[in-house]
Amino acid sequence: MIEANTLSLGLIGDNIARSRSPGLHRLAGGQNGIAVTYDRLVPKDLEESFEQVFARCLTGGYRGINVTYPYKERVTQALRIDDPLVKAIGAVNTVIFEPDGPRGHNTDYSGFVAAYTQVRGSAGTGPVLMIGTGGVGRAVAFGLVALGTRELRLVDRDAAKAEALAEALQAADPQMQVTIWLDPEKAAEGASGLINCTPVGMVGYGGTPLPRAAMTGAKWAFDAVYTPADTQFLTDAEAQGLTVISGWELFFFQGVHAWAFFSGLPLDEAQLRRDLSREEETA
């Protein structure tokens, strides 16, 4: 559905004014001689519900859309999901509009695995604390399954969400020990990996979900937030000597994988990184 060397894409989410996705996909299109339009669609700004915005996308000439916070779980109700893994995750960030209806994919999952291995190679994760069990948290948790994590501690203000994720993970990997905690500082004791999958720290949601002192003894940290890339959570982790995995890496790889779904066309990933960095420097 690339017509006349043009490709129409979009992003539905809240607080996405600083999203780098439009630039990533425009640059990806440029590598392939395709003009890409990529619209930011914020339901509250459009004075519509998520469902209304999504319905307009269905008939609006889009090849596909990305979906971000807080709609990744909500969108699944409107989609056909063929991949059993994505069904188990229960969250979608990439939607392709096919002639027989919209289909859902999850490139947060594959993007996190790629981001982790980019920084830590084949190193084991060790026991992991993950704060936040919403859409991106579910994808990251299943990424941890793929990485061989044997112990995962979940923290979320919504206990029902944490319990639902724990059940899904146990069904996918009965050997994984999954526990639910109320206090992130207690849960951090003895953890090797620390993960933030909440919006805390992004533009408009200042702060950090875990005090710096609680990071002592951990080996690595990942923050799903990438606007800004240098969140307080990661700045504190680096100061404590942890290896940090930026949310920018997840953003990059999920975007590369989404591009494959949107277009089926190749990418020079190294060039895309350079071009994105150049744009950020001049922004």
Interstrand relation of 128-131 and 6-12 (parallel, antiparallel or unpaired): unpaired
Catalytic residues: 71
Asked whether 276 and 23 are in contact (CB, 8 A), the reply is yes
* Domain residue extents for the chain: 6-106+250-282, 109-248
Identify the pLDDT of residue 280. Answer: 81
pTM to 2 decimal places: 0.94
- For the CA atoms of 113, 115, 121, 126, the dihedral, rounded to the nearest 10 degrees, stands at -60
Same fold, 6-106+250-282 and 109-248: yes
Kindly state the DSSP code that residue 68 receives in the 8-state scheme.
-
Residue 204 is predicted with a pLDDT of 82
Closest CA to 81 of 108, 104, 54, 110: 104
pLDDT at 246: 97
pLDDT of residue 1: 57
Q: Which CATH architecture has domain 109-248?
A: 3-Layer(aba) Sandwich (3.40)
Kind and range of the H or E run holding 2? none
Candidates 170, 171, 105, 179; CA nearest to 139 is 105
β-strands 64-67, 94-98 pairing? antiparallel
- Pair 41, 10: CB distance under 8 Å: yes
DSSP labels, 101-164:
EEEEE-HHHHHHHHHHHHHHTT----SEEEE--SHHHHHHHHHHHHTT--EEEEE-S-HHHHHH
Q: Pick one of 3.40.50.10860, 2.40.160.20, 3.30.1130.10, 1.10.10.10 as the CATH number of 6-106+250-282.
A: 3.40.50.10860
Q: Which pLDDT score, from 0 to 100, does residue 206 have?
A: 86
DSSP 183-230: -HHHHTTT-SEEEE-SSTTSTTS-S-SS-GGGGTT--EEEES--SSSS
Q: Could you tell me if 107 and 96 are in contact, meaning their C-beta atoms sit under 8 angstroms apart?
A: no
pLDDT reported for residue 274: 96
Pairing of strands 35-41, 94-98: unpaired
pLDDT, one tens digit for every residue, the chain (283 residues): 566 799 999 999 998 999 999 999 999 999 999 999 999 999 999 999 999 999 999 999 999 999 999 999 999 999 999 999 999 999 999 999 999 999 999 999 999 999 999 999 999 999 999 999 999 999 999 999 999 999 999 999 999 999 999 999 999 999 999 999 999 999 999 999 999 999 999 988 889 999 999 999 999 999 999 989 999 999 999 999 999 999 999 999 999 999 999 999 999 999 999 999 998 877 6
